[in-house]
């Protein structure tokens, strides 16, 4: 009977599936409760962890560098388009010009011995034609540059017309130091050459007064040893020790004008009413009181004086010579608003602007117990990146300074109004807006003050670090913010 009772009890348990199902459900419910509690704890830890917030903020800063790089590519594209317009108009009007010369080219023949290479190893003498080059003793250039601005769509190009008076003297060429037979010098084939980099822009026939004779100059050079492009003419070499010359040039060009100091003493005087010159090349202009008396208060009137000792090639040489183009000097006519270059420079400070703005949000959040989602940071960061797109597009029409001001005001208002909504505090939103105004003003000063950009930037970063250290002096970084009963409102 006892056996049957135990067996019946076992059968009762085994045939009661509802109790087993209830038991399994309780186990699953208990497990799900533990999992939910674990994820809830993790979520609270993530929300209250300062390290996680810092990591997320830093990650968002890196993510926002992607649209910043797109903006930089857009700036480069617009710069490239501007250069295309400059080349296009330059090809029709005149490209950057380089005036070189004049110089004399005189052929001569030299006997050269060659071994025939046969069994008897005979020597064969060949008379080869070669060229000798002679540069002027003095070269004086007096030029006037008349500039004008041409527009193509949104782009501007500086074009100019140059009127040049060249004068100087040549000494009679002397071959004695090379020990060349005077009978093998072809005096009757002597030619005078003048270098001009873009012959398409010449506006009138060029004639040279050579001693008592006048010769018309024609396209082409007797050789490519000295220059690649230019004009030349045959001239007569007289028995006089010194030969004077004069030549007038009238040509067009764009952006830049260079001179090569061919003379033993080269003097260049150049004047223009263009208000923004940049003196470039191997030599800077000298101060000259006579040039300063000219009425070019809105432009420039400058003088260069270059000696043959200042350049890497001699007064006379044979064959090819190096260093001709390296000695060129001149002027570049700058546009008043090079907004593409400044826009690119401002974009380089994007990570600084975004990082400091996120730092302000972080301190407002920490010190005032305000819950901010990473999406809030992302929207603010995108607003800061839109600034550079606005700056590029507006500055193309209104100039860099005005474009920068309009773009900065628009972004500051946008971020401040958004901050007012998420902070729910006019005080905090006003402080953020004021800080953004200071940041944009600080970056603008750096962009406009190239000479003191490093000094101003270093001082600004030092003050920013000092402010961050001051605001974070009372934060207990070891405890989550949520554990504090009363927040310390320091800003």
pLDDT, average across residues 422-449: 82
Strand extents, DSSP E, 334-451: none
Separation CA 179–CA 185 (nearest Å): 11
Tell me the per-residue pLDDT of 214-237, one tens digit each, with 9 for 90 and over. Answer: 999 999 999 999 999 999 999 998
**Considering 336, 355, 376, which residue would you say is the last residue of a domain?**
336
State whether 323 and 382 are in the same domain: no
Could you tell me the pLDDT band of residue 423, with boundaries at 50, 70 and 90?
A: confident
Asked if 134 and 283 sit in the same domain, the reply is yes
Would you list the DSSP string of 114-161? EE--STT--EEEEEEEEEEEE--SEEEEEEEEEEEEEEETTEEEEEEE
Same domain, 258 and 195: yes
Query: What's the helix, strand, coil split of the chain in %, to 5?
Result: 45, 25, 25
pLDDT at 173: 92
Domain assignment present for residue 44? The answer is no
Phi-psi map region of 333: left, alpha, beta (phi>0 left; psi -120 to 50 alpha) = beta
Q: How confident is the model at residue 39 (pLDDT cuts 50, 70, 90)?
A: low
* 489 has pLDDT over 80: no
Same domain, 185 and 281: yes
Q: Are 93 and 410 in contact (CB under 8 A)?
A: no
Band (pLDDT 50/70/90 cuts) for residue 13 is very low
- Calpha distance 448→444 (Å, rounded): 6
Q: What is the pTM of this model?
A: 0.68
161 pLDDT more than 60: yes
Q: How far is CA 434 from CA 372, 405, 431, 444, 490, in A?
A: 20, 15, 5, 15, 16
- Give the burial class of 35: count Cβ atoms within 10 A of its Cβ; 0-12 exposed, 13-18 middle, 19 or more buried: exposed
| Neighbouring-strand partners of residue 278 | 332
CB 272 within 8 A of CB 235: no
CA distances from 471 to 51, 319, 420 (A): 17, 73, 21
- 365 pLDDT band (50/70/90 cuts)? confident
**pLDDT of 480 strictly over 80:** no
Count structural domains, the chain: 2
pLDDT tens-digit map of 260-299: 999 999 999 999 988 888 899 999 898 665 555 555 557 8
What's the pLDDT at 179? 86
Pairing of strands 230-234, 316-318: unpaired
The pLDDT value recorded for residue 383 is 86
Q: How many whole angstroms from its chain centre is CA 467?
A: 33
pLDDT band at 20 (very low <50, low <70, confident <90, very high): low
pLDDT band at 53 (very low <50, low <70, confident <90, very high): low
Same-domain pairing of 75 and 114 = no
- Residue ending a domain, choose from 320, 336, 352: 336
Which three-class secondary structure state does DSSP give residue 237? coil
**How many CA atoms are closer than 13 Å to the CA of 42, on its beta-carbon side?**
6
Same domain, 150 and 260: yes
Same domain, 306 and 408: no
Distance, CA of 166 to CA of 262 (rounded, Å): 12
Final residue before a domain boundary, out of 313, 336, 359: 336
Q: Alpha-carbon distance 366 to 339, whole Å? A: 39
Q: What are phi and psi of 228, to 5 degrees?
A: -100, -35
β-pairing, 97-115 vs 191-196, is: antiparallel
Range of the domain at 394: 50-79+340-483
CB 186 within 8 A of CB 107: yes
Give the mean pLDDT of 130-140. 95
CA pair distance 377, 371, nearest whole angstrom = 12
Find all residues with CB under 8 Å of 18, minimum gap 6, and list them.
none
Interhelix angle 400-423/374-398, nearest 10 degrees: 160
């Amino acid at each position: 009977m006892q056996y049957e009772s135990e067996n019946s009890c076992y059968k009762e348990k085994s045939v009661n599936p509802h109790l087993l199902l209830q038991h399994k459900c309780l186990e699953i419910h208990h497990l799900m409760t533990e999992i939910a509690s674990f994820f809830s704890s993790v979520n609270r830890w993530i929300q209250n962890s300062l390290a996680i917030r810092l990591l997320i903020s830093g990650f968002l800063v890196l993510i926002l560098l992607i649209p910043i790089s797109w903006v930089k590519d857009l700036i480069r594209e617009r710069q490239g388009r501007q250069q295309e317009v400059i080349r296009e108009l330059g090809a029709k009007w005149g490209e950057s010009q380089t005036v070189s010369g004049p110089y004399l080219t005189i052929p001569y023949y030299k006997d050269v011995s060659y071994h025939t290479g046969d069994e008897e190893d005979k020597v064969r003498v060949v008379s080869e034609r070669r060229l000798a080059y002679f540069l002027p003793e003095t070269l004086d250039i007096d030029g006037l540059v008349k500039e004008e601005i041409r527009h193509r769509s949104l782009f501007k190009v500086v074009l100019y017309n140059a009127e040049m008076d060249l004068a100087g003297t040549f000494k009679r060429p002397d071959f004695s130091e090379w020990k060349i037979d005077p009978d093998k010098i072809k005096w009757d084939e002597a030619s005078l050459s003048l270098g001009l980099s873009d012959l398409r822009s010449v506006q009138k026939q060029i004639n040279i007064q050579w001693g008592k004779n006048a010769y018309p100059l024609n396209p082409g050079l007797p050789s490519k040893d000295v220059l690649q492009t230019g004009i030349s003419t045959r001239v007569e070499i007289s028995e006089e020790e010194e030969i004077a010359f004069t030549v007038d040039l009238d040509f067009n060009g764009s952006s830049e004008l260079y001179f090569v100091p061919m003379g033993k003493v080269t003097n260049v005087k150049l004047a223009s009413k263009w208000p923004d010159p940049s003196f470039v090349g191997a030599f800077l202009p000298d101060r000259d009181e006579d040039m300063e008396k000219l009425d070019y208060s809105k432009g420039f009137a400058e003088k260069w004086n270059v000696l043959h000792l200042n350049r890497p090639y001699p007064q006379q040489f044979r064959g090819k010579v190096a260093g001709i183009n390296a000695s060129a000097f001149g002027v570049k006519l700058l546009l008043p608003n090079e907004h593409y270059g400044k826009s690119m420079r401002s974009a380089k400070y994007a990570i600084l602007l975004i990082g400091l703005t996120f730092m302000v949000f972080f301190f407002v959040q920490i010190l005032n117990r305000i819950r901010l989602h990473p999406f809030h940071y992302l929207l603010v960061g995108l607003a800061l990146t839109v600034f550079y797109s606005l700056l590029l597009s507006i500055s193309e029409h209104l100039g860099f300074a005005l474009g920068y001001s309009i773009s900065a005001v628009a972004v500051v208002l946008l971020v401040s109004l958004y901050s007012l909504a998420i902070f729910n505090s006019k005080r905090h939103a006003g402080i953020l807006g004021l800080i953004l105004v200071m940041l944009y003003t600080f970056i603008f000063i750096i962009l406009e003050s190239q000479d003191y950009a490093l000094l101003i930037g270093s001082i600004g970063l030092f003050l920013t670090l000092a402010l961050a250290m001051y605001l974070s002096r009372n934060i207990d970084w070891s405890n989550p913010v949520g554990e504090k009963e009363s927040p310390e409102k320091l800003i």
